Amino acid sequence: MEVTASSRHYVDRLFDPDPQKVLQGVIDMKNAVIGNNKQKANLIVLGAVPRLLYLLQQETSSTELKTECAVVLGSLAMGTENNVKSLLDCHIIPALLQGLLSPDLKFIEACLRCLRTIFTSPVTPEELLYTDATVIPHLMALLSRSRYTQEYICQIFSHCCKGPDHQTILFNHGAVQNIAHLLTSLSYKVRMQALKCFSVLAFENPQVSMTLVNVLVDGELLPQIFVKMLQRDKPIEMQLTSAKCLTYMCRAGAIRTDDNCIVLKTLPCLVRMCSKERLLEERVEGAETLAYLIEPDVELQRIASITDHLIAMLADYFKYPSSVSAITDIKRLDHDLKHAHELRQAAFKLYASLGANDEDIRKKIIETENMMDRIVTGLSESSVKVRLAAVRCLHSLSRSVQQLRTSFQDHAVWKPLMKVLQNAPDEILVVASSMLCNLLLEFSPSKEPILESGAVELLCGLTQSENPALRVNGIWALMNMAFQAEQKIKADILRSLSTEQLFRLLSDSDLNVLMKTLGLLRNLLSTRPHIDKIMSTHGKQIMQAVTLILEGEHNIEVKEQTLCILANIADGTTAKDLIMTNDDILQKIKYYMGHSHVKLQLAAMFCISNLIWNEEEGSQERQDKLRDMGIVDILHKLSQSPDSNLCDKAKMALQQYLA
């Protein structure tokens, strides 16, 4: 209770008619709240904030009073997130931004320090910096005033620059030119905050990155300055942030992946950050940045995999929290627990990048101590982020035929994967279903057990998703499942999917969905007995779908795939009749035999060859009907084609007529 009584006394003094006493009251309040969260909370509850803001904005307040008010508000903001929320509710940001128009530097610095504290809090919406269009240019102008304005403004920018819109606003207001020279400031804090600014400006932004490559500071190009900042004698935070700048510029296409500053400087620096000597936070950031750097480039993946035993070094990321007996310090345990998730997530991400393309690297990862067990355990972790990273890592390793046949089988990876697919957020579903596509390839031993565990229904469900990536993966996995499958599996797929859904997918707006659905149809309609069986039950609808696609505005690949489906139907015994009795389709095949695109001519030729093949019953009638349509004349013309493939196929078809 006594705290509240003394707190009330502090607030009451802010209303004294004597300005000198008010100033003394604010100074006493400042000394009382430093490091005292309880006192801060009490003063906020008692309404100190609106009064301090009133004094801060009052024309008649002395500059000294205004400055002290800004300092106290900054101190209140340093407390809990709730304190920051209370300050935001009192509209502190517009008041402080208004304060930046003052001529007095000390007051400006106090306002900026308070703004910095508020904007770096997770509860503050970044948008508040951009609401008034005059703010950013004014902050750019204040950068030249003092090392404090430089430090705080850069810190505000780096925290409030989220996404391409913010990057563009800052870039258009001259952020690059205004901040570049701060990299050579005498103050370490200014250099550091300027560097952080460049990392957030360059991230996934080709426009900014291409500009940075050519910026000169004191006669030196920016990438060279960044390289100097990631040398071993620099503070770790500086090394890491410079490595991020170079990584982001490289990923945005402004620096080549084989440039020395990436291969000889950035990559080794990031690998160093993964070592045991570094703090857990640094190891997380190092691994995540390295994963991002090497993700698209197989050469960098190979170099990283043989640098400083990286693959073995990452195994250590799974050893936190250390065995409890070894940790007597409860704070340390808490710290380790907090970072254990992040460490596992980072290791999975980096393994996924390392193993994205190279078979030998995947083998090395899988042979690292208990790695498959660790990944499988990761699939059922409580943290969504860890689960996602584990699925991505498995997906990367599942690109290997060798591993699908061995490690994936030994560890029955499909079991936890099917569990993950039951009820996961979309981002996990997309990767997990993509991996299921790999496990369903015809050479994968997991195919059988997956089918028995209800995969068909699950995948048919995915094809109805709102999310196009999930529709593609659902249909892709079904396509792999149907490849060289037995009749029962094909019947299951058709029954679960339903013809209605199949046709909905054939008219899907997403080209990938359409292509994979055609691939599924083509796989369903392979081997004669299957073709005849499916066409006897679904023939009418399938012929309708084929007609619609051949008439529609589709690209060459789609039409080629559709003609290949027709060629498969033409290979059936009874299914042939569905083509021969459909003059519309026959005319379309004829049209594509004379098409300007060789791929389509070849696909149409396959249809004709299958229809006229001699050894088969009824071939004579089919040959006569096609001759009457003028097909033989077209075959003669095609036998003169400059395309050797087409020419051979035409000659072979003509021989069927001569036999």
Domains of the chain (ranges; CATH) run 550-658 (1.25.10.10)
CA atoms within 13 A on the CB side of 510: 18
Phi, psi dihedral angles at 379 (to 5 degrees): -65, -20
What pLDDT score does 333 carry? 75
Q: Which residue has the higher pLDDT, 325 or 225?
A: 225
| CB 145 within 8 Å of CB 105 | yes
The predicted model gives 497-511 an average pLDDT of 89
Q: Cis peptide before 206, with omega less than 30 degrees from 0?
A: no
Instruction: Quickly count: other Cβ atoms within 10 Å of residue 634's Cβ.
Output: 20
- Distance from C-alpha of 215 to C-alpha of 256, rounded to nearest angstrom: 17
Residue 325 parent element (H or E): none
Q: What is the pTM of this model?
A: 0.81
pLDDT of 236-247, one tens digit each?
Answer: 999 999 999 999
Give the least confident one: 186-200, 206-220, 329-343, 355-369.
329-343
* The pLDDT value given to residue 418: 86
Is residue 273 predicted with pLDDT exceeding 50?
yes
Residue 614 has pLDDT above 90, yes or no: no
Q: What is the pLDDT of residues 397-412, one digit of tens each?
A: 888 777 777 777 777 7
How remote is the C-alpha of 406 from its chain's centroid? 29
Q: How far is CA 87 from CA 40, 117, 412, in A?
A: 12, 11, 54
- How many residues are listed for the chain in this entry? 659
Over range 479-502, report the average pLDDT: 89
Fill in the DSSP letter of residue 217.
E
Centroid of chain to Cα 626: 53
Contacts of 28 by beta carbon, 8 Å cutoff, 6+ apart: 10, 13
In the 8-state DSSP scheme, what is residue 423? Answer: S
**Which pLDDT value is given to residue 565?**
94
At 65, is the secondary structure helix, strand, or coil? helix
Instruction: Indicate the average pLDDT of the chain.
Output: 91
Mean pLDDT throughout 98-107?
Answer: 96
Report the pLDDT value the prediction gives residue 499, as an integer from 0 to 100: 84
Confidence of residue 324 (pLDDT cuts 50, 70, 90): low
For residues 144-174, one letter each, b for 16 or more C-beta atoms within 10 angstroms of the residue's C-beta and e for the rest, the string is eebebbbbbbbbbbbbbbeeeebbebbbebe
- Res 1: pLDDT: 43
pLDDT given at position 323: 61
Number of neighbours of residue 591 by Cβ within 10 angstroms: 12
The pair phi, psi for residue 216, each rounded to 5°, is -105, 135
Check whether 617 has a pLDDT greater than 80: yes
pLDDT at site 659? 65
| Position 608 pLDDT exceeds 60 | yes
Residue 111 pLDDT greater than 50, yes or no? yes
Q: What's the mean pLDDT in 637-644?
A: 90
Q: What is the mean pLDDT of residues 132-161?
A: 97
Residues sharing a CB contact under 8 Å with residue 150, sequence separation 6 or more, in sequence order: 143, 182, 185, 187, 190, 193, 194
Q: Tokens in use for 307?
A: 């640098």
The answer to whether 300 touches 289, Cβ cutoff 8 Å, is: no
Q: Which residue has the higher pLDDT, 551 or 246?
A: 246
- The whole-number pLDDT of residue 219 equals 95
Please report, rounded to a whole number, the percentage of residues in the chain having pLDDT higher than 90: 66
